[in-house]
Amino acid sequence: MLEVQHLHAGYGRVPVLHDVSLDVRAGEVVLVLGANGAGKSTLLRTIAGFVKAERGSVRLNGVDITGQPPEENVRRGLRLVLDGHRVFPELSVADNLRLGAAVHRERIDFDTLAGPVLDFFPVLRDKLRSPARDLSGGQQQMLALGQAFVARPAVLLCDEPSLGLARALIAPILEFIRNWARAGVAVLIVEQQIDLALSLADRALVLERGAITLSGSADELKRDPRVQEIYLGVAGAPGAAG
Amino acid sequence: MSRWFGPEGLTERAQLALGSTAIVASVAIPALAGNQYWTHTFHLVNLYVVVAVLQNMLLADAGQVSFGQGAVFGASAYTVGLVSTLHGVSPPLAVVLGVLAGLALGALFALPALRVQGYYLGFVTLSVAMVFPELLVAFSEYTNGVNGIGLPVPVLNAPLVANVTPLSLLVIALACGALAAHVGLRRAQLGRRMRVAAASPEAALTLGFSPGRARSAAFVIAALGTSLAGVLYVPVVGFLSPSAFHVELSIFFFFSVIVGGRGRLLGPIVGVWILYLVPNVLLVDLVNYRLIGYGLVALAIMLLFPDGIVGSIEQSLRRRLQTRSAEVRVDWMMSVPPTAMARSGQSDPDAGRAEPMISVRRVRKSYGALAALNGVNLDVARCTIHGLVGPNGSGKTTLLNVLSGLVRADEGAIDIKGHDTTRRPADDTARLGTGRTFQTPRVFDDLSIWDNVLIGAGLRRADDGRGWLFQALASVEAAWREQRPDTLPHAQRRLLEVLRVVATDADVLLLDEPAAGLSAEERRDFALLLRHLRDALGKTVVLVEHDLDLVWRVADRITVLDAGTIVAEGAPQAIVGDANVRALFTGRPDA
Amino acid sequence: MDELVIILVRGIGLGAVYSLVAMSFNIVHNSSGILNFAQGNMLVLGGLFAFFLLPQEPTVARWLLLLPAAALLYAAVLALQGYVTLLPLRSSVEQHSWLITTLAVSVIIGAVILIAQGPHALSVKSPFANFRLLGTRTPTAYALAALLALGWYAALRWFHARTITGLAMSALAQDLEAARAVGLRVRRLQLYAFAISGAIVGSAGFVAAPVMSISADSGIIYVVNGFIAAVIGGLGSNAGALIGGPLVGVAGMYAAFQYGGQFQNAVSLALLIAVLMLRPEGLFGRARARRV
């Protein structure tokens, strides 16, 4: 469903991504791991269209969407949930969801669209009329995911959904994403917390300074000691080889 | 390369020569030919050129949007007229008063500029320009209102030799002088500071000067030149009326700068000639159409040639002439001779027990409910490289900002080199001897590479001034003077920023994620550079980094932050083996 | 006493016009950060519309018919201006071109009016008779302008709270990146904002025409006073605009009566400077206006 080939990208003159290729199939959860500054967010932003790729291509169901702005990609079925649980603070939960659904050309009943989200996260139903700024960080993340859900994307990109959240909230959020994938959506997710995320994913790849240095099934990577080394930059540590 | 052409097109010297020639010719030719009409026209045109040159400096170099220069011009002209005719003041005194009046008004614009920016300043100055003629009419009893003031100055208009009057000479001198002043300003430290302040007020502070002061200086200089032109308006036109200083005049000056090319030295000349001569002189019948002319030309230029006429020409010249590519390399920086400080540090056995270079005690900083720094204690020893690491949101950059003085701590104390810098403004702390680099290199594309380095030098009392800098970089100075850094790849821009900080002779270097975007080889070189800075130059380096690889390689001590608190500190070996640290970076509690 | 009533009534009436200009600023500024210098001259164009299309003895029916026409026409005109203004912003290089292009458009409109109609102010007759308010005769246009300002305020509130487009537009002001991620078409919404701002000033110019100064020179006076009204209330806040307008209007009227008409704008300028030095974010604005 999502095919990325030889992607090179950066911000202004600062190069970040070097020759990144990956693919995500429908119903699959692919996890992008990597230390801070490795380029994980940049990868998602480039695929979504926020950052202009210098070289390479992004294909959605065979259609080349490289360089298309994010607004258009949402209409084609590719949706990025930004990091930092960003929702519209002055608007109500309901209005935030309505805006998420605004991409549909035909009118779809609000309850039909948002029902599953509100069922899964009942607190959102309780606070339906409250402005989003009254929600906690975790609840805002739920809302952000819900906002993406009602757009019914075919491909979901998710940037560190667990960042800054209390441990108790992370599990239901990740479960929501897993169920979402099982329903047929291709999910590419970035996460810092290795173990939690690996239990959710089918496959994973490790990004190191903008290039993929390790990839495999989630189980394989869970057992691979090199993953940890990459995170710690241990290759250059005193006493380590190299 | 010749003195007239450089990789950027015509050199400044060539442009100054070209501009001055145009000015002199525009006045001399009609005067010598005995054509009163054209002489008079070009007198006025050149006065307008003076104002436009200064507006250009104010807009492009200092980044200030002023729609009020016409009011400054009018204020000085009217003051001269008023005090001479209605109060019988002698001409020299009248001139002084006129200049003072214009200066006062122009300098006043600096006040709102210190509080708000951009279009706010534009609206304030526009309002002033709008209100100025209204007030002239409102106070008719003092100003003679719409009837105006007639003030011919025959002595200046009496021909000296070959039909050239003293007035012509004065006009030529002022116009050429304005152009030369602009060039001179750009070469001076003040001019560099103005441009840095306009591009990045943060960088200005960390380089040790206040952007507010640089901005105010720009307003004063602009007001001075504009007032002098206003003073000469009196003998040139011989008549003053409020309608001559309508708000439209201020808009004309602004548009002239844009049409000619913002920031281009010759832009104001081209802009004024096109916007004034074409409708007022060449299309005399259609003089009512001149306003439409201004609007349409400005609109067309913004949509089609945003660089303006001169700017577009310069850009295409630049593309064609680009022959050499300047470079910034690590080995040049390593050739900087060691300083006395480093030498003493190495041979002194007590060095390790000396006072810490930086001392942070119980520092707290919150943003609303979020505590970015929660009671941090830290010591950084002299001549060491101290790494500061931690996950996103751990507070590392906030700590660096607090150390530089860009952010003020809510509680706690910071001591740098024995001085309490807790409450000091950032430019003060910079002058003490701290230098800072930013995540995105604050390299100024408007200045040449050499100027980028020079903006750092002269910051402090450095004993041998710029001596060592000139020695070390003598081989590249010429190339760097002529080129701008926008063609440099990222790694070299980073090096340039570090070089600038070294040029400030700062003892403490605060580096914010300097390795971002560097390739493996570039990082190795950078590590070498950091060690050189510590060992040969005696610098103390605090390094905020995501790139743990680099930090393990190069740091003497490492502090690990998480959510605003220090969770570990020590030598790299100890930190790498610390289970808590491993868990923090990999999210694995059992790592 | 009479004089005070006149100052208040006319000040509020004129202030309502400034409030409308301020509201038209707000909607464009909130969605794209642009301040449209040309709003003042667009207001004058609205007055010109009334001048040309209202007969010498206008009827109420005709007036009512032409009011929405004015709004629609200027919605279109401003959408066009918006398109031209937003065009250079596609490339991230010229992020401040709008300062110049909006000013250029303002100058062009003023120049066209000058050429077509000459420098003198035009007068428009109102289909409504003057009415008595607190013992003074007041042109109805002042009351109508006030009603229009309140009407637009309510309409915009409804728009931003109850329609998807309005919600989307207010989302732009809250988090532009998140808006793009959600799939909101930013450029299109920014153009709609321009169009709505046109409807506001077009209708305002039409309604206030009998008491406005319709001439090539007055555009700049309206845009500056409208800006000051917006700043006093807090740039971006329509509630602030409703308060800032009458403040500026009454202060100016007072100055005109006490010292003469030539001082009206000087007083506005003094108000602007006071606000910027003391509280740049205005009454209801967020503290974003302050700088380093």
Give mean pLDDT in consecutive 10-residue pieces for chain A, a chain of 242 residues: 93 88 94 87 95 93 93 95 93 95 86 90 92 91 94 94 82 90 94 80 91 90 82 56 36
Do C183 and A79 contact (CB within 8 A), yes or no? yes
What range does the domain containing C205 cover?
Answer: 2-278
B59, B116, B132, B297: best to mutate for the C interface, most C CBs within 10 A: B116
Q: Which of A13, A16, A232 comes nearest B489 by C-beta?
A: A13
Q: Which residues contact C285 (CB under 8 A, 6 or more apart)?
A: C233, C234, C235, C236, C237, C240
C-beta atoms of B587 and A193 within 8 A: yes
* The amino acid at B11: T
Quick check: C228 and B127 CB within 8 A?
Answer: yes
Q: What is the tally of structural domains in chain C?
A: 1
Is pLDDT at C161 greater than 90 in this prediction? yes
B422: phi then psi, degrees, rounded to nearest 5: -55, -45
Angle, helix B91-108 to helix B69-85, in steps of 10 degrees: 150
Chain C residues with CB-CB distance to A103 below 8 A: 182-183
Q: Say if CB A78 and CB A46 are below 8 A apart.
A: no
On whether residue C292 sits in a domain, the answer given is no
Nearest to C171 among A50, A81, A99 (CB): A99
How far apart, in whole angstroms, are the C-alpha atoms of residue C83 and residue C99? 14
Q: Is residue A237 within 8 angstroms of chain B, CB to CB?
A: yes
| Subunit contact B552:A36, Cβ cutoff 8 A | no
In a domain, C271, yes or no: yes
Question: For residue C216, which of B68, B247, B297, B286 has the smallest C-alpha distance?
Answer: B247
The CA distance from B228 to B46, in Å, is 12
B113 touches chain C (CB under 8 A): no
- Residue B540's SS3 state is strand
pLDDT reported for residue B416: 92
| Contact criterion met (CB < 8 Å) for B586 and A10 | no
Q: Show the tokens assigned to C252.
A: 């100016």
- CB nearest to C183's CB, from A87, A89, A151: A151
Is residue B72 a contact partner of residue B105, using CB atoms and an 8 Å limit?
yes
**Chain B residues with beta carbon closer than 8 angstroms to that of C260:** 138
Nearest CA in chain B to C271: B124
Q: Is residue C284 part of a domain?
A: no
Residues of B within an 8 Å Cβ radius of A? 391-393, 440, 489-490, 493, 513, 516-517, 520, 546-553, 572-573, 576, 582, 585-588, 591
- Shortest CB distance from C88 goes to which of B296, B298, B306? B306
Please indicate if any CB of chain B lies within 8 Å of the CB of A16.
yes
Residue C111 to chain B, least CA–CA distance (Å): 5
**A-chain residue closest to C178, CA distance:** A86
Inter-chain touch C183–A102, beta carbons under 8 Å: yes
Residues of C in contact with B120 (CB under 8 A): 231, 276, 280, 289
Written as six digits, the tokens of A48 are 């979504």
pLDDT for the residue numbered B466: 55
Q: Is C291 part of any domain? A: no
- Report the alpha-carbon distance of residue B530 to residue B204 in Å, rounded: 24
Please list the residues that pair with B541 across neighbouring strands: B385, B509
DSSP bridge partners of B10 = B5
CB-based burial label for C265 (10 Å; 0-12, 13-18, 19+): buried
Which residues are CB-contacts of B591 (< 8 A; sequence separation ≥ 6)?
A: A228, B579, B582, B583
What is the three-state SS of B48-62? HHHHHHHHHHHHHHC
Q: How far is CA B448 from CA B97, B352, B482, B484, B514, in A?
A: 39, 41, 6, 4, 22
> For residue C149, is pLDDT > 60?
yes
The residue with greater pLDDT, C95 or B487, is: B487
Contact C183 A69 (CB under 8 A): no
What distance in Å separates residue B162's CA from the closest CA in chain C?
42
Evaluate whether residue C120 is within a structural domain: yes
Nearest to B156 by CA among B169, B146, B143, B165: B165
Is residue C288 included in any domain, yes or no? Answer: no
Reading the block at residue B20, the tokens are 């001055």
Name the pairing type of β-strands A78-81 and B557-562: unpaired
- Chains in contact with B via at least 3 Cβ–Cβ pairs below 8 Å: A, C
Chain B CA closest to residue A34? B586
Q: Is C91 left (phi over 0), alpha (psi -120 to 50) or beta?
A: beta
Residue C220 near chain B (CB below 8 Å): yes
| Chain A contact set for C182 (CB, 8 A) | 74, 99-100, 102-103, 147, 151
Strand, coil or helix: B333: helix
CA–CA distance, C228 with C275 (Å, rounded to integer): 9
Beta-strand (E) ranges in B299-383?
358-367, 370-380
pLDDT at C91: 59
Residue C290, domain member (yes or no): no
Q: Which residues of C touch A94 (CB under 8 A)?
A: none
Mark yes or no for CB contact C269/B128 under 8 Å: yes
pLDDT for C289 beyond 50: no
Which 3 state secondary structure label does DSSP give C242?
A: helix
Q: Does C290 touch chain B (CB under 8 A)?
A: yes
In a domain, C289, yes or no: no
B53, B182 contact by CB (below 8 A): yes
Probe site for chain B from C28, C103, C275 (most B CB atoms < 10 A): C103
Nearest-by-Cβ selection for B251 from C103, C266, C268: C103
Q: Kindly state the greatest CA–CA separation across chain A.
A: 63
8 Å CB contact of C100 and B65: no
**Region at B505 (left for phi over 0; alpha for psi -120 to 50; beta for the rest):** left
User: HSE (CB half, 13 Å, CA atoms) of B282?
Assistant: 8
- Cβ separation C101–B299 shorter than 8 A: yes
Buried b (16+ CB within 10 A) or exposed e, B172-206: bebbbbbbebbbebbeeebbbbbbbbbbbbbbbbb
Cβ density class B266-295: b for 16+ within 10 Å, e for less: bbbbbbbbbbbeebbeeeeeeeebbbbbbb
- CATH number of the domain within which C115 lies: 1.10.3470
As a whole number of angstroms, the distance between CA C232 and CA A68 comes to 41
Helix (H, G, I), strand (E, B) or coil at B545: coil
Tens digit of each residue's pLDDT (9 = 90 or more) over C236-287: 999 999 999 999 999 999 999 988 888 989 999 999 988 888 888 888 876 5
List the single residue in A13, A164, A237 with the smallest CB-CB distance to B490. A13
Residues in chain A with CB shorter than 8 Å from the CB of B585 are 35, 231-232
Whether C106 and B248 have beta carbons less than 8 Å apart is answered as no
Report the chain B residue with the minimal C-alpha distance to residue C105: B295
Flag residues of chain B having pLDDT under 70: 1-3, 6-9, 117, 282-288, 322-324, 332, 336-354, 458-469, 587-591
Q: What is the pLDDT of residue C270?
A: 92
Q: Please report the DSSP string for B473-503 in residue order.
A: HHHHHHHHHH--GGGS-HHHHHHHHHHHHHH
Nearest to C262 among B134, B202, B288 (CB): B134
